[in-house]
Amino acid sequence: MIVIYLLYGLAFFSLGLTASLHMLQGSSLPLRNHLPWLAAFGFACAATGWLDMLLLTDLKPEAATVVQSFRTLLQPVSGLLLLIFGWRILTKVSPLPAWTQLIPGLLLAPLAFVITYAATTFITPSPIEIPIDIWSRYLLYLPGSIMAGIGFLRQWRQQRKRQYYDVARLMLAAGVAFLFEAFVVGLVVPAAPYGPASYYNYDRTVPEAFTADQSAESEPFGLINWLDDDRVLEVTGLPIQFWRMLSAFAVTFFVVQGLGVFDALRKRELAALQAERDRAQLSALTAYNVARETAESWTEVLINIGRRIAELDDVDEILGYTVANGCHLLASDFMGLAIVNADQTDLELKYYADERERAARLVEMPVKVKNRCLLQTLQGAKSFCSADNEPPEHFADLHFFTSPGGEMSPMHALAAVPLSLDNKPIGVLWVSRHENAPYSETDLIWLECLADQAVIAIQHGLMTSQLQSFSIIEERGRIAREMHDGLAQVLGYLNLQVQTLETLHRRGKEEALEAELAQMKDAVRTAHADVRENILSLRTTLANEKGLISAIDEYLNEFGLQTRIQTSFVHTVDEPVDLASLAEVQLVCILQESLTNVRKHANARRVSVKIEQVGRERGESVLMEVRDDGVGFAQSNGSRSFGLQTMHERARAVGGTLTVQSTPGAGTIITCSLPCLQSDNLKRKNPLFSYEYS
């Protein structure tokens, strides 16, 4: 028995120690808040077991009394600790079903009866430790063990649901161990006339029962024994202490194992959560990068469209570029741009891009757009985005050209935005997909941005064509002026001279006649030179598709041949020069005016032209210098020739400057500086720019 009590105490001491260690380590178990109660219960039970062991030794009567008192006090305390632990593990670890709220209310009356019954037994003439022992077991150990058992069984179910089968098995075993403990510790009591352990003989009263204990050994207390210590020994052949030791070992083993595995599992779970969080962070970062790249691509495209508009590029090219890039960036199978025709009767497809061809096409022949949604978008001047469950008829008439295979898979997603100029609908821009993946709100916003740019391009195209008309008119005026000032004057002069020659010829003044003829020859030569220069100027201005440098080079060669003035051309820039188209035109005009002045007034033998790109830090500009070795002229502040004034105006018109340096007898230097476009920002780095406009 001493060994049994020793082992019993050791088992519960291990339980208390393990729970304490888990508690001190800051365990993350769901049971962590209840571990102090388990630890205290373990230590109290261990102390009770060891006190029982001491009582079996040869103690002095005084010491035995003290030990017995301690034990009597400790037993209900340990039972109370188990009751608290059982209650907490049953109710606090996870929420109980609603119907369990009814249990305490319904158990009140039975509990009151048991408590009263227990109270009545204390007035019987039995030693005080017997009712304390018995009622500690019935009222504290029994419900505490049952609740702890059910609590662990609930854990078993929970862990099974979460598929933690190893923990679940241990929780099941711990639950069963606690229920076994409830039986052997809570229900089996020393022989006494209380509760389930004994069944009264009807004829006995309580005082008589205890009297009978002393007289009748065969039937102690005059009772039928039921579940008391003796009955267990009789049935199993082993004392109840052995079974209690067994239950203590079972409880300790499975709870300790469960705590260990549970802790490991929690750590594994935390590691998995950590990994999941890392994955989520990576996904978020990837999504952020993708979003950023997409935004950058869109920004590049939109800026590039704006740049091309500013450069007065061809509208067809700009719109084609817009459609080609929009189709790709919106991951669409088709993108179209349709414009209302001149009669305002039909919507006609003008440009389209097909993802397979990765290029935009200009539609030469009118192709009517009949799709209902697109027409409604135009009429309502409101964007449209197809939903997930869009009716199939909304995607009808979205194929405009038959593919080489003949069969075209239907579209299942559509987004369209109207093109409005001065609040008047002029067309529709749309994208569509074969896949049933509706466009997002963001896609629609990007499409609207493209539509805005397309409208601006169209507006600029219209304005450019108007400007070109004005330029032609202006050029015609200039030519008329030149002819009036030059050729017409010479022809008038020649007419007068011819009349003079006739008069001189009739009068027979041969010498005067020859002198007049020489003057006429000079006048005709001058007029011829003017006409040839005008022709050269016109040709050079209108032939700028060769490139600025080539055109200037060619012009200077022609100029040298015509005027016999030696020309030289030095340049440090490469084609294409980073100037706006208008600036290029003005630069050529300034050069022509300068060279005309050289030819007419400078009497120069050599003229040199230098073009270079300067001023990298403060914004780039193209600098042109025209230097001659002619007679020069004296510069005065107020009187500026009409030609020089025109040159200044031309430079200012494109944001540039012009300076003239001249000294009589030392030639003239004309310097013109025109600003470059912000080329670094507009470099075509994006792979999307590799799209060719065909």
Partner 1 sequence: MNIREWALPVYTILMQMAVGALLMLWLVRAASLRRHAPAAVDRVLRLPLAAIWITTLTAVTASHWHLSRFYLSPLAVLNWRTSWLSREIIFTVLFFALTTALLWLLWFRDGRTRLKTALGWASVAAGYGVIYSMSRIYLLPSQAFWNTPLTLAGFLLASILLGATAVPVFLVMDLKFTEVACNADVGRAGAATDAAMADIGLRQRIIRHSFGWLAAAALVAAGLAPLLSVRLIEMLSHGDVAAQTSLALLLGLYRPLLILRFVALFSGVGGFLLTAWRVRGTRMPLNLTNSVYLVCLLVLVAEITGRFLFYAVHVRTGL
Q: Which residues bind partner 1 (CB under 8 A)?
A: 95-99, 101-102, 104-106, 108-109, 111-113, 115-117, 119-120, 122-123, 199-202, 204, 206
Pairwise CA distance, residues 430 & 388, whole Å: 17
Q: Token match 């400007």: residue? A: 467
Cis peptide before 576 (omega within 30 of 0): yes
Q: Of 112 and 287, which CB lies nearer to partner 1 in the complex structure?
A: 112
Nearest to 46 by CA among 89, 17, 80: 17
Dihedral pair phi/psi, residue 387, rounded to 5°? -95, 180
Q: Exposure string (b/e) for 655-690, b if CB count within 10 Å is 16 or more?
A: ebebebebeeeebbbbbbbbbbbeeeebeeebebee
Pairwise CA distance, residues 449 & 417, whole Å: 10
Contact 312, 585 (CB under 8 A): no
Contact 36, 22 (CB under 8 A): no
Q: Token match 């898979």: residue? A: 409
Pairwise CA distance, residues 304 & 173, whole Å: 73
**Structure-block tokens of residue 208:** 């008589």
**Structure-block tokens of residue 15:** 């339980």
In sequence order, the β-bridge partners of residue 394 are none
CA dist 125 → 70, 209, 211, 229, 395 (Å): 22, 10, 9, 21, 98
Local structure of 181: helix, strand or coil: helix
DSSP code at position 411:
P
Which residue type, as a one-letter code, is found at position 279? Answer: R
Q: How far is the CB of 189 from partner 1 (least distance, A)?
A: 16
Contact 221, 191 (CB under 8 A): yes
Nearest to 651 by CA among 571, 574, 589: 589
Q: Token match 């808040």: residue? A: 33
For helices 61-91 and 142-161, the axis angle rounded to 10 degrees is 40
Local structure of 663: helix, strand or coil: coil
Pairwise CA distance, residues 561 & 567, whole Å: 9
Nearest to 385 by CA among 456, 462, 342, 332: 332
SS3 for 353-399, per residue?
EECCCCEEEECCCCCECCCHHHHHHHHHCCCEECCCCCCHHHHCCCC
Exposed (0-12), middle (13-18) or buried (19+): which is 494, by Cβ within 10 Å?
middle
Q: Of 196 and 547, which CB lies nearer to partner 1 in the complex structure?
A: 196
CA dist 124 → 128, 137, 228, 229, 403 (Å): 9, 18, 19, 21, 107
Contact 384, 373 (CB under 8 A): yes
Pairwise CA distance, residues 499 & 511, whole Å: 16
Q: How far is the CB of 221 from partner 1 (least distance, A)?
A: 12
Sheet with 347-354, strands from edge to edge, namely 359-362, 347-354, 334-340, 424-433, 413-421, 384-385
Q: How far is the CB of 91 from partner 1 (least distance, A)?
A: 11
25: left (phi over 0), alpha (psi -120 to 50) or beta: alpha
